Structure 1
């Protein structure tokens, strides 16, 4: 009996995580995207980039979205010449000066997802730059991929990345989390290195495995857990449900994000399904009342598609009139009896026609 209780306890920890709580993670989300060095301050709009390095004349960012707006506020003694490096960026990103008298010169880098510019900023001024692919603000068809629950199969992920790279129409990859198996800094370091083999950016929310150790490792490696962005007329929302619940602060953000996406085609992503459609894994929110609350909010916000992870297979079903997919095919403990191999999804999205098509791509 004691052994059974111990195994049950470990099983529950694997479902809901045991590290930093959802409230702590939401609080830290609000700190992402701001930093200062000397007489210069920077702010990334909506916290959509992690400041990896900021020192006099150097700024390195890890992106959580394909479009970025960065504001530099310089004092009278601020350094003028800056090296700006963006990692996890679209290969076709271009930089434009929105406000201020700054200048920018692009510098060639090795990786397709790493972009570099030399900036010259005027002192005692506010300068805003916009970085995005040229077509980011034009509503039109896009193709993206979805990959979740890599976990202990990280050593095999390059074959999935190769399949994604074979399709040049894919603009970026989204993930519902469980990138790592136990959320250690070493695993995140490994995953960042593995991303060097992917030709497009990878934007993710966290899963329960990713935060099981805690210590805000995700924040230091990837940035926010919950965020929202628009691209080519479509809205994308990723929300942290790693503890089988969504924090009240994130629900408040979600209200605004749903309002923003109400008249756009809108994709919602979170790790745990609010409702497990078959009950085999009991992989759902810990509260049915909260699950109903979330489904009602998404339906009321006219969300077009919702995608979840956590369950290591693919299931297509409907919640509250919304098309939903569970896709946890990155390699973590596959549910072998369903006959589905490791997989990812492709999504063809037409924001103008308010339409989409989801396909499963198996990796044999």
Structure 2
């Protein structure tokens, strides 16, 4: 797949660049043609074309929209500056370009919005918005919607290292004060003396089992969480150990989904969820996935959001990157069978190929894996 955006890509002007913390900056984007602004749902992301000096071409990066869907005509992305490992390496390329090169008045090319991590406005369940670091970007967009358009109880729980890197704090407080039923809890891993003096946080260290039990009454929650992998692993293990159903935990996680059920560094719950049990079925009933190279066969149970997630649950880990139909890293040969796409791929998929991250089988299929 190409690293250039498609005909659905449009130029946007950076009309504001706002420093949110020592490492995080927001960019307000307005289309040059107002008709190119598209409605989005809280939690979705934009895909941005970023110049790559090492090749003279472009790379694509996804950034969650941190503004509200009601802010028509403008998108805001809130980006943490990641340090590059070395010149020419992909880590930090996009965030350094945004932080160091892009200024107000610059034009960026975007495609969006897209993504399946979305706030379910049809549910009446109380909501937990759980974030670590720059993972606050989708949860604050969701909080904006819940504060203005819902009466559901909300617990907004955010973890970061200290006040120096805490972004969007005042915005969260303003939203929480908008109506009753919104509760805010900040956990600082390494609070400074100034943080203590100003009482900027509610707990220190890691978000613990005891903290969550004291903070949350017993209820049937819908959880939305986003953050770095160790944080996500720890929170997933903690929540499931407290009885929160896996089907009620939605997350934005750019890594193998199977990692969420493995204990990792930062696991403060003390309880690790067991690894998924592979589903192997040699019968001819129902839909099956056949991996021709490895001579393996699995029964599709219909519960996975994509072929990629399903294969990961069976212990198979195909290559991937964005998990959102953008980068093309997970494209594979489709030897036989048919699939449907829950998220339209950014580029056209040629016949005989399939994008694993956003497709599901509609018949038994065979992959060249």
**Structures share fold, TM-score greater than 0.5:** no
Scaled by the length of structure 1, the TM-score of the pair is 0.29
- If each structure's strand is expressed as a fraction of its own residues, which one has the higher value? 1
Of the two structures, which has the highest relative contact order with CA contacts closer than 8 Å and spacing of 6 or more?
1
